[in-house]
Each structure stands twice: as C-alpha cells, then as structure tokens.
Amino acid sequence: MRTKDLLNLDSLDRPEIEEIFDLTAQIKKEPKQYRQVLSGKAVGLVFQKPSTRTRLSFEVGMFQLGGNAVYLGPEDIHLGVREDIRDLARTLSRYLDGIVARTYAQEDAENLAKYSSIPVINGLSNSYHPCQALSDLFTIKERFSSLDSLIVAYVGDGNNVLHSLIQICALMGVSLKIAVPKGYEPDPEVLRWAMSRSSKISVYHDPKQAVKGSDVVYTDVWTSMGQEKEAKERKKAFEKFQVNRQLTALAKPEHGVMHCLPAHRGEEITDDVLDGKHSIIFDQTENKLHLHKAILSLWLGGKK
C-alpha cells in the first residue's frame, strides 16, 4: 500500500512504480482529462535550495490539475531556524493538502513528514532525488518501449541523483553500470540495499567499462548544491569522467544520453553530446512535468 509520504524510493514496490508510469503516460497523452482532479487543493513548495525544473514542474503541474501551489523559499521559511520543524509541519498541515520539500538534510524532509498530517514529497535532498529517478526511468521506458534487458551507464559522482537511480533500477530490474572516481562512490548502504534485490548493479572506476555496450549514458554535475567549496578538487578528481563523443562512441549505436540538469557544459558533459542526436535530455526534462502531475494526483488524493 502507498505510504503517506514519498521521501525515498525504498518505500515503493514495482507495481506502485508501474501505476505511476501508467498514470504519467495517460496524463501526458490526454492532459485535459485531468484538469480538475485537484480542484480546490493546495500544495506548498518548501525549498531550501534553488530549483528551476522541480519547482516549475510541481507548480505548473498543480495548476494544470486545477489546484494551487505556494512557493516557500529559503527566505520565507528558514527551516529549523525561524521555528521548530514540528511547529512548521503542524502549521502547514492546517493550510495545505501536501508539501514538496527540497532540503539539505534528508532528515529535515523526514521530520517534516513525521510531524505533518499531509503527504510530503521529496523534491531533492543531499541524499536522494526520488521524483527525478521516477521521471528518468519513465523517459527510458518511453524511448525504448520497454525496460527489459536495458543497460544504463551512470558516469560521475556518487550523489543524490545516483542514489535514487540505483534504487529504481534495482526495483525495476534494470542493469546499472556505475563509473565513479575512487573516493566518490555512492553510499554503501544504498548499494547494499540495491544489491540485495538485484544482481544487475556494478561499480567501476573506469568510465569506458561502464559505458561499453550500454543503452543509456547518464551523467550529473560533479559538484552538487551545497558542495561549492569542493568544486576545485572535484574538477580534478572527475576530469577523466567527462561524457564526451569519445566515451559515448562505446555505447550501443542507438543509445540515449541523459542528464537531470542543470548541466555544467564543458565539465561533466560536452556541448556536442548534450546537443547531439543521442540526447534525450529535454524529453527527460519535459517528463518531470507529466510525472509530477501523476505523483500529485496519486498522493494528494485526486480521483484518477
């Protein structure tokens, strides 16, 4: 059964993910059918970090479903500073029907969820980006018609985006070949959880090994929000992990290239790959809108 909150993909199972994908496909195909499903409802976006796509897709998505979205940025709510998270959670629960939270600590999103009576959806924390991984796998399924026998290669940092990608690949039985520099591996707990469910996850320190024969090549920034002080040392550690033409030439001829965006062009990905014919990056971006509408409909109690 679906849990109250969507904080981390380990709370979902395969049928629940398939239900989200089916609804996303329907909403994408016939958006007008869903214009009233959240009529009169309101979601609050409690965002402690900047956002373009996640904010827009949840805000616009909520409007397209007939509801309202209220953005509460770092200047509006100093999470845990202006007031205790428990008081904030209880207050928001009296006004809103749901919360999308973008926090530094995963624990902050968990505490918001614990003390609120309304659903809390994780719109990225330092540890996870569950909604991103859901729309990414939806995009892969759309591009290749099926997830069966696909190999996804992830080249880059062992970060929040990778953690959620590992979880969803394990849940959906998709092979994931990860290439990270030494010292930048994903959280061993996340890997252990995934490997206990799937034998299709492997970690390399050589990007070529991961990308060779893959259907999808995925990358993300080398320096995530909140890690800006480490940017210089990270640039050096990741210099051999750039997704460029030479590397993608090792993937299957019909491969797709993905990036959750924002990208640092010329660092983790070159212009020619981001703009090239294999890039499905802007379909991936668009699908965040459709998928977030499905999440809002399901978690905030829409009829469909």
Judged by the rule CB under 6 A, the positions of this chain that interact with ligand NVA are 124, 159-161, 220-221, 224-225, 260
- Shortest reach from residue 235's CB to ligand NVA, in Å: 15
- CB of 183 vs ligand NVA, minimal distance in Å: 17
Residue 64 touches which of ligand NVA, ligand CP, none (Cβ within 5-8 Å per kind): none
Alpha helices in the chain (DSSP H): 14-29, 53-64, 85-95, 106-115, 130-144, 160-172, 188-195, 207-211, 231-237, 245-248, 271-274, 281-299
Least separation in angstroms between residue 197's CB and ligand CP is 25
Q: Is 53 in the site for ligand CP (CB under 6 A)?
A: yes
* 51 sits near ligand CP (criterion: CB under 6 A): yes
Residue type, 113: A
- How far apart are alpha carbons 252 and 268 in whole angstroms? 20
Residues 126-145 that bind ligand CP (CB under 6 A): 132
List, in order, residues 6 or more apart from 293 with CB less than 8 Å away: 24, 27, 31, 34, 61, 64, 65
Give the nearest distance from C-beta 175 to ligand CP in angstroms: 23
Q: Which does 279 bind (CB under 5 to 8 A by kind): ligand CP, ligand NVA, none?
A: none
Tokens of 272: 């020619």
Assigned token pair, 109: 């999103």
Q: For residue 262, say if its preceding peptide bond is cis, omega within 30 degrees of 0.
A: yes
- Of residues 8, 54, 248, 270, which one binds ligand CP by CB under 6 A? 54
Q: Which residues of 277-294 are buried (b: 16+ CB within 10 A; e: fewer)?
A: ebbbbeebbebbbbbbbb
Q: Rule CB under 6 A: choose which of 6, 152, 170, 260 binds ligand CP.
A: 260
Name which of ligand NVA, ligand CP, none residue 52 binds, using a CB cut-off of 5 to 8 Å depending on partner kind.
ligand CP
Interface positions with ligand CP (CB under 6 A): 51-55, 124, 132, 260-262
